[in-house]
Amino acid sequence: MTGKFETGSVITGKVTGIQPYGAFVALDDQTQGLVHISEITHGYVKDIHDFLKVGDEIKVKVLSVDEEAGKIGLSIKATEEPPAREKKPRRRQAAAIISEGDEGQQGFNTLKEKLTEWIEQSQSEDLIRK
């Protein structure tokens, strides 16, 4: 049955049926395989009919051959170059909080640590004013 179809080979087939989960593709007169919906194209596919119709001649890559079950897994997207990824702008990092006298210390201080420091500074300034 599938002895002539090897995993990794790219062949041309004809779409013979479409179901919500994938498209059936005739590879020859006796053999057909399934292109799962996730293997139609790069990106999200809501409706296979937006990409394929019965009778379309398509290029597919053989992903798997299960002799016992008589199933062949196919992919259309494996025959195409993936789209170029957009570079997302990098998020800016917040500046570290460094108090006077801490020039050598780097990193972030938690609010709890800073709050204690600010309270102590405030109390010492109040004592100086009195």
Per residue of the chain (130 residues), give pLDDT as tens. Answer: 546 888 999 999 999 999 999 999 999 988 999 999 999 999 899 999 999 999 999 999 999 999 888 899 999 999 988 888 777 777 766 655 555 555 555 556 677 778 888 888 888 776 666 5
Query: ∠ CA(11), CA(18), CA(47), 5° rounding?
Result: 105
Residues 44 and 21: their CA atoms lie apart, in Å, by 13
Report the distance separating Cα 47 and Cα 72, nearest Å. Answer: 22
Which residues on neighbouring strands pair with residue 15, listed in sequence order?
Answer: 25
Looking at residue 119, its pLDDT comes to 87
Pairing mode of beta strands 71-75, 22-26 = unpaired
Q: How many CB atoms lie within 10 A of CB 24?
A: 17
